[in-house]
Amino acid sequence: MNSAPIGIFDSGLGGLTILRSLEKKFPNESFIYLGDTARVPYGNKSAQTIINYSKQIGEFLTNHNVKLIIVACNTSSALALNVMQNYFSIPVFGVIEPAVLYVENKFPKSNSIAVIGTRGTIESKAYSNQFKKIGSTKNIIEKACPLFVPIIEEGLSSELIINEIINYYLNDLRKLNINQFILGCTHYPILKFALKNFLGDNAELITSELALSNILEKFMIEQNMFSNKKQSETSFYITDMPQKFLELGSRFFGSNLCNVKYISNF
């Protein structure tokens, strides 16, 4: 047994969708979440910058004695996961491999899969490379949607503007008659309703929460890493303290955020 907390980080709000799913799956586990709100978005930054940010956050989490780290950011998973797995002595999980394995097993007859994500994730070819790694013959069509994260982090609520941005990025994809779309950014589920309306009733929008939690459960059983505490605790750390983090965070997390701390040494 291991009662140490699980560390999770993201560039901002998006990883809260992962945290929410894991809290439901593992009610006895404690979590430490870090949202790098001072440096969001990650998607338009260089690979080395993302690696530096990710290692820095990993150091923060390991200094808080977490038993494993979840990189709940697709851009960091695409560009920094391998570096972190080699750098840190504790297990480090990303969000791309679970989503790819889920799609390959769930939709074996689908010939084409679309992936939408940040510029950093898409340009890295992380998803198409992961499909190739597992021997998949699916045609992976990847599309960068760099404005999605900023409009989400800003809490933009205008349906007209959101729909225009979605149309700008995805109109060509909609014409290809693809039914499975991987939301390759943990921010994107907040746009799920608008995306579904745009892409049509046959579109299946796939996120990584369920697949990740199942992989993590199997690993923790094998390694006997579950907490035996009867009471769990979740702590939130952010690198900037905008009021909108508390307001928008509740939409991602499904409830009010408590125990939020600001860290200034980033």
Is residue 266 within 8 Å of residue 58, measured between CB atoms? Answer: no
Sheet holding 180-184, edge to edge: 139-144, 112-117, 180-184, 204-206
Tokens of 256: 């009010």
Q: Which residues contact 39 (CB under 8 A, 6 or more apart)?
A: 11, 45, 53, 239, 266
Tokens 């709100």 appear where?
37
Instruction: Please tell me the distance from the alpha carbon of residue 66 to that of residue 86, in angstroms, as a whole number.
Output: 17
- C-alpha angle 253-226-37 in degrees, rounded to nearest 5: 30
Active site residues: 73, 185
